[in-house]
Amino acid sequence: MSELLEFRLEEMLPELEQMESLQLFDKTEIRSILKRRREYETKLQRQNKTKDDFLLYIHYEIEVLKLARSRQSDDSQAKKKSDIVYKIASRINKLFKNAIIRFRDDVRLWISYIKFCKLVHFYTCISSMLGPMLQAHSDKPFLWKFAAQLEFEDMHSVENARQYLLRGLRFHPECRLLYLEAFKLELVYAQMKCKERLEKKEKLAVGAKEHEQPKCDQAMEVSGSSSQAVLPDGAGQEFMDQVLEGKHAEVIYEAAVKRIHDVSFVISFLNTCKEFDFTENLQRKIVNDLLSTYPTDELTWDIMARRELEGLSYSDSAPTSATVHNKKQDRKKKKKISREQIRLCTAVYQAGVKQINTEKMWSLYLDQVIDLNHDTSSLPVFKRKLLREAFQGAHSAGKMQEKYYRTWVSGLVTFSCDLLIS
């Protein structure tokens, strides 16, 4: 055991000597590093080594790595400094791997290792460890999501990300987390491709102007060859069009709602869609599904009312592209909620309490109108009138909870005091 320990310490000597020659550490610090490494290596030689023995060693080496990175060296020595940093990072990488072999049941250890790999840009190590991690912890849905995010965001592989989510769903066929993540992945990817296509079109437009030819037939020939070069033919083009239209996300959504029958789950997909400005048709489909499948659920009426407040008014007719564009521009321009939006929102709630005269429906209505009254910078009189009507309606229906009576009384007292002061 002692021979192996001495051999490992001797292996470190050239690295330590180089640290000193580059003036990353002075002699006292080098002696301290060697001493600490001896202590940690001794603990790892024991038969009954613990997880803390590994973690303390790893933590110490990470601190050494940070110091080595932060300390200045001569520009001509940059390559040698980089080599030192790489050697320290490789030692930490090896320590993590050895710890994981012994303590593979510890999820936090796997995640800490992957975060370290991201820190030092060991992306190949991340890819090689995701499979074993999921093999050891296939029962944990959040790790399938974690792996997919790493593949997409850090390794830039949408295909690998898809595969992890689909495999995760085979293990967890009713996991809401994985369905929603797969849905969002397709929308993010579509948004990214939309942006790329737009940038290509803009570059082509600029190029066409710069190389404009006098003859019409020559101009048409150039235009035709350019568009042909940018866009793939046949099946490839059709596939990409489906991606850009959100069709892949729609497939995920349909599979999810067939498996899980819950109104709040459907609403989660609808709320995710709102983050993307090309999902108008998909939102319309989800809204139609809500209205046809859950017409008597309070949450259906609640989300429809809230969408009116956001300017996402529902109508049976499909919007034209021009209408969609104008609506998007209008929503961007409007910072404050208009009187008409508030009126439409409360009209939906009023229709809702007529259809579903329950305490929950009235509570959702009251919560929204109370929330509107928190903003007194615009339409305060109109909002107070709507609040009063909502309180009176809930009281008359016998569906108002005690907390709303307290809010009602508190509001009356505040309003009376305001009148006296004015």
Q: Is residue 80 one of the residues assigned to a domain?
A: yes
Dihedrals phi, psi of 338, to nearest 5 degrees: -80, 165
With 50 as the cut, is the pLDDT of residue 225 above it? no
Q: Are 22 and 30 in contact (CB under 8 A)?
A: no
pLDDT tens across 364-387, in order? 999 999 999 999 899 999 999 999
With 90 as the cut, is the pLDDT of residue 402 above it? yes
pLDDT for 76 equals 72
- As given in the structure block, the two tokens for residue 49 are 């080594």
Kindly report the pTM of this predicted structure: 0.83
Q: Which residue has the higher pLDDT, 7 or 294?
A: 294
Q: Is residue 355 one of the residues assigned to a domain?
A: no
pLDDT tens across 194-223, in order? 888 888 877 776 666 665 554 434 332 333
pLDDT tens across 72-94, in order? 766 778 888 899 999 999 999 99
Q: Is residue 255 one of the residues assigned to a domain?
A: no
pLDDT for 5 equals 83
Dihedrals phi, psi of 74, to nearest 5 degrees: -60, 140
With 90 as the cut, is the pLDDT of residue 6 above it? no
With 50 as the cut, is the pLDDT of residue 25 above it? yes
Concatenate the DSSP letters of all residues of 117-158 into one string: HHHTT-HHHHHHHHHHHHHH-TT-HHHHHHHHHIIIIIS--H
Domain count, the chain: 1
Instruction: Quote the strand ranges of 344-402, DSSP E.
Output: none
Q: Is residue 293 one of the residues assigned to a domain?
A: no
H/E stretch holding 369 reads helix 359-373
Cα(286)–Cα(291) distance, integer angstroms: 9
Least confident piece of the model among 25-29, 39-43, 213-217, 406-410: 213-217
Dihedrals phi, psi of 319, to nearest 5 degrees: -75, 150
The mean per-residue pLDDT over the stretch 46-71 comes to 94
Cα(15)–Cα(201) distance, integer angstroms: 53
What is the pLDDT confidence band of residue 242, given thresholds at 50, 70 and 90? low
Select from 203, 218, 213, 130 the least CA-distant residue to 168. Answer: 130
Q: Is residue 360 one of the residues assigned to a domain?
A: no
Cα(89)–Cα(84) distance, integer angstroms: 9
pLDDT tens across 112-143, in order? 999 999 999 999 999 999 999 999 999 999 99
The SS3 assignment for 189 reads: helix
With 60 as the cut, is the pLDDT of residue 247 above it? yes
* Stated length of the chain: 422
Q: Is residue 372 one of the residues assigned to a domain?
A: no
Q: Are 259 and 183 in contact (CB under 8 A)?
A: no
Q: Is residue 410 one of the residues assigned to a domain?
A: no
What is the pLDDT confidence band of residue 420, given thresholds at 50, 70 and 90? very low
Cα(266)–Cα(254) distance, integer angstroms: 10
Considering all CA atoms of the chain, what is the largest pairwise distance in Å, rounded to the nearest integer? 90
Cα(383)–Cα(370) distance, integer angstroms: 9
- Where do runs of H (alpha helix) occur along 245-311? 247-259, 263-273, 280-293, 298-309
| Domain range for 34 | 2-103
